[in-house]
Amino acid sequence: EMSEMSERSKQNVAHGLAWSYYIGYLKIVLPRVKKLMEEFSRANPNVLACRETWKLHILVPLSCDVYDDLDKADSNIQYVTDLAETTLTRAGTKKRVYKHSLYAIRDKDNKLWHCAVEYATPLQSLYAMSQDECAVFSREDRLEQAKLFCRTLEEILKGSKECAGTYRLIIYEGSGEAETHFLSRYILWHLQQQYHEEYALCEENQLHNPSMSLSSTELNLQISESDLPQPLRSDCF
22-75, pLDDT tens digit by residue? 999 999 999 999 999 999 999 988 888 788 999 999 999 999 989 999 988 899
How much is the pTM? 0.79
Instruction: Kindly compute the dihedral angle of the four CA atoms of residues 114, 119, 120, 123, in this order, to the nearest 10 degrees.
Output: 160
User: How many structural domains does the chain have?
Assistant: 1
In a domain, 213, yes or no: no
Residue 211 lies in a domain: no
C-alpha span between 144 and 161 (Å, rounded): 28
Does residue 214 sit within a domain? Answer: no
38 inside domain: yes
Instruction: Compute the C-alpha angle 148/154/158, nearest 5°.
Output: 150
Domain that holds residue 151: 24-203
Burial of 194 (0-12, 13-18, 19+ CB in 10 A): buried
Which H/E stretch holds residue 109? Answer: none
Cβ atoms within 10 Å of 128's Cβ, excluding its own: 13
Q: How many other β-carbons are positioned within 10 Å of the β-carbon of residue 64?
A: 24
Give the pLDDT confidence of 109-166 residue by residue, as tens digits: 999 999 999 999 999 988 888 887 766 678 888 889 999 999 999 999 999 999 999 9
